[in-house]
Amino acid sequence: MNNLQERIAQIDWSHVTQQLHDHGHALVPQLLHNTETSELVDFYHQPQHFRKKIIMERYRFGLGEYQYFQYPLPAILQNIRENVYTHLAPVANTWMKVLQIPQQYPATLQQLHEQCTAAGQDLPAVLILKYGIGGHNTLHQDLYGDVYFPLQVVLFLNEDYEGGEFVLTQQTPRAQSKVTVLSPRCGDMLIFTTNFKPVKSVKGYYRAHMKHGVSEVRSGQRYALGIIFHDAKT
Ligand SMILES: O=C(O)CCC(=O)C(=O)O
Ligand SMILES: [Fe+2]
C-alpha cells in the first residue's frame, strides 16, 4: 500500500503534464500490480462497497453495467484519488489560466470536496465498469454538477478480452473530430480530460472539446475502474 503511494510519487509527472498539455491524455503504464488489480475486480462482487448500480442500456449509455462506490472508499482507492489529484491540480490550473476561465483548483482533494459539498455534491464518482461480449460505452463526458475537475482517471483491471479499446475524440471548431484509440494493459492508469483541453492557435488558446468511450468487446469480459475527482449530486 505505502508502496503504491511511492509508485505514484515516482511517476514522471513532468512527462505526464507535457502529454496532457499536448494530447489531453497520458498513459502511465503498469502502476498497479496484479494483486491490486484482482483485489479491485473482486470488489465488484462485494455489494457493501457500492451505493448505486447502473445498467447502461437502460439509459442508452451503451451495453454493460457499473457500480458507484460509497464512502468510505477502500483505502487503495482513497490513496490513488488523493495522491494523483495533487499532481493534476497544477495542470488543471494552467488550463484554466491559458483559457482565461476564472477558475482555479485547490491543492488538495479534501479542499475540492469542500467546494463540492457546498454545491450539494457529496457522493463519490468512483466506479467499476464491467462489460461482456458486445459491451461498449458510448462517447460521453463525466460532469456531475456545477463543480467539476477537468481531468479524470481510468485504471485497467484486466486484459483477457478482445476489442474494448478506449476511445477519445477531440473536436476542433469548424472541423471533424480526431480520434485516439488505446489498448491499455492490465495495471495501466490513463489520465484524460473530462471535457476539454486547451489548444494554441495564432489568436491564443481555444477549447477543444473531448469525449471518451469504449469500443465493442468482441470476446471475454472487460473490467475498468473510473476515478472522477469531483463528487456527484446523485
Ligand atoms: O470502461 C472504460 O474504460 C471507460 C470508463 C469510463 O467511461 C469512465 O471511467 O469514465
Ligand atoms: Fe466515462
pLDDT in tens, 197-222: 999 999 999 999 999 999 999 999 99
Average pLDDT (89-109) is 98
- Judged against a pLDDT cut of 90, whether residue 115 lies above it is answered with yes
Tens digit of pLDDT for each residue in 24-81? 999 999 999 999 999 999 999 999 999 999 999 999 999 999 999 999 999 999 999 9
How many other C-beta atoms are found inside a 10 Å radius of the C-beta of residue 118? Answer: 11
Domain boundaries along the sequence of the chain: 2-232
- Ligand 2 centroid, distance to 194 Cα (angstroms): 8
Amino acid at 4: L
Residue 166, phi-psi category: left (phi > 0), alpha (psi -120 to 50), beta (remainder):
beta
d(CA 140, CA 194): 9
Contact 229, 105 (CB under 8 A): no
Nearest ligand to the C-alpha atom of residue 215:
1
pLDDT score for 2: 61
The residue whose CB lies within 8 Å of the most ligand 1 atoms, and thus the one to mutate among 212, 221, 225, 227, is: 212
Q: Which atom of ligand 1 is nearest to the CA of 154?
A: 9
pLDDT score for 111: 98
Q: With a cut of 0.95, is the ipTM above it?
A: yes
Q: What residues flank ligand 1, with Cβ below 6 Å?
A: 129, 137, 142, 154, 166, 212, 214, 224, 226
pLDDT score for 172: 87
Average pLDDT (74-96) is 98
- Ligand 1 centroid, distance to 145 Cα (angstroms): 18
Average pLDDT (6-28) is 98
Tens digit of pLDDT for each residue in 152-172? 999 999 999 999 999 999 998
d(CA 161, CA 179): 22
pLDDT score for 144: 83
Q: Which atom of ligand 1 is nearest to the CA of 225?
A: 9
Locate cell 448500480: which residue? 53
pLDDT score for 171: 95
Nearest ligand to the C-alpha atom of residue 158:
1
Q: Share the mean pLDDT of the chain.
A: 97
pLDDT score for 166: 98
Nearest ligand to the C-alpha atom of residue 214:
1
CATH number of 2-232: 2.60.120.620
pLDDT score for 49: 98
DSSP SS3 for 220: strand
d(CA 18, CA 14): 6
pLDDT score for 215: 98
| Percent of the chain predicted with pLDDT > 70 | 99
- Ligand 1 centroid, distance to 204 Cα (angstroms): 31
pLDDT score for 145: 84
The residue whose CB lies within 8 Å of the most ligand 1 atoms, and thus the one to mutate among 81, 128, 137, is: 137
Q: What's the Cα-to-Cα distance from 23 to each of 11, 119, 158, 210, rounded to whole Å?
A: 18, 31, 25, 10
Q: What is the DSSP string of 152-213?
A: EEEEE----EEE--EEEEEE-TTSPEEEEEE-PPTT-EEEEESSEEEEEETTEEEEEEEEEE
Q: Whose CA is nearest to atom 7 of ligand 1?
A: 213
